Chains A and B, each alone.
Chain A
């Protein structure tokens, strides 16, 4: 058990809808990272928050947004969903803000767009 909790485990919705994915980091970790994993693209970095502030952005679409709350949990919001957004979404956490810090992953949310 990595200590990172993601909810829900599965999400099925329709095109055009909006969903929110939630992540609780390991106790003591201040950084949260969001990744998207698909068969053709592999694991792609989306965005990082450190202690409530955005720190780094990767290949995140404008339709996607995230935030980290004072209790350090994070939410990833996906809107105007398209079929191509179907993927596994992982959250990871680390103690510090550098990408060279070991990241610990949750078990992901599987998003299916019908």
Chain B
């Protein structure tokens, strides 16, 4: 079983829809959670960074962490065609010597005008 599971999609929604992207994980030591956006032929770009549980909002993006369920989500409101990309969740424990950044497989998202 992989440490981080992410539905690869693809996911296709109409412009203006609310998008929900999700990851589950098995390592209870994970405390730092990130979402990266990757456009075709580009490197991953850090979108959201959260520590421990709770919500964090940045414009149209909301990151949610539920450590009790080992589940994280990224919500995109009022989705735009420019949001079409692959979204990768990533997480780490932050424990020196036992840490690395573990990525999900990525979800390919298309927003249709």
**Which chain A residues numbered 31 to 55 have a C-beta less than 8 Å away from chain B?**
33, 42-45
Binary interface encoding of chain B residues 41-85 relative to chain A, with 1 for a CB under 8 A from any of its CBs, else 0: 111111001010000000000000000000000000000000000
* Chain A residues in the interface with B (C-beta under 8 A): 2, 4, 33, 42-45, 56, 58, 90, 92, 98-100, 102-108
Q: CA separation between A2 and B43, bound complex, in Å?
A: 9
* Chain B residues in the interface with A (C-beta under 8 A): 31-32, 34, 36, 41-46, 49, 51, 88, 92, 94, 96, 99-106
Q: 9 more A-B contacts (CB under 8 A) besides A42-B105, A98-B96? A: A43-B44, A99-B99, A100-B31, A100-B32, A100-B94, A102-B49, A104-B46, A107-B42, A108-B43
- Interface residues of B: mostly helix, strand, loop or mixed? loop
Q: CA separation between A98 and B96, bound complex, in Å?
A: 7
Q: A99–B101 contact, CB under 8 A?
A: yes
Q: CA separation between A42 and B88, bound complex, in Å?
A: 10
Given contacts A102-B46, A107-B43, contact A42 B104 (CB under 8 A): yes
Q: B43–A90 contact, CB under 8 A?
A: yes
Which residues on the B side are within 8 Å of A90 (C-beta)? 43-44
Q: A56–B99 contact, CB under 8 A?
A: yes
The 9 closest A-B pairs by CB, nearest first: A105-B43, A100-B94, A100-B32, A43-B103, A99-B92, A99-B99, A42-B105, A107-B43, A105-B44
Q: CA separation between A108 and B106, bound complex, in Å?
A: 17
Given contacts A2-B43, A4-B43, contact A100 B100 (CB under 8 A): no
Q: B100–A2 contact, CB under 8 A?
A: no
Question: Looking at the complex, which one of A2, A42, A108 makes contact with B103 (CB distance below 8 Å)?
Answer: A42
Q: Which residue of A lies closest to B51 (CB)?
A: A100
Question: Looking at the complex, which one of B31, B34, B104, B105 makes contact with A102 (CB distance below 8 Å)?
Answer: B34
Expressed in whole angstroms, the minimum distance between the Cβ of A50 and any Cβ of chain B is 12
Q: B100–A99 contact, CB under 8 A?
A: yes
Q: A56–B43 contact, CB under 8 A?
A: no
Which residues on the B side are within 8 Å of A105 (C-beta)? 36, 43-45
Which residues on the A side are within 8 Å of B44 (C-beta)? 43, 90, 105
Which residues on the B side are within 8 Å of A58 (C-beta)? 100
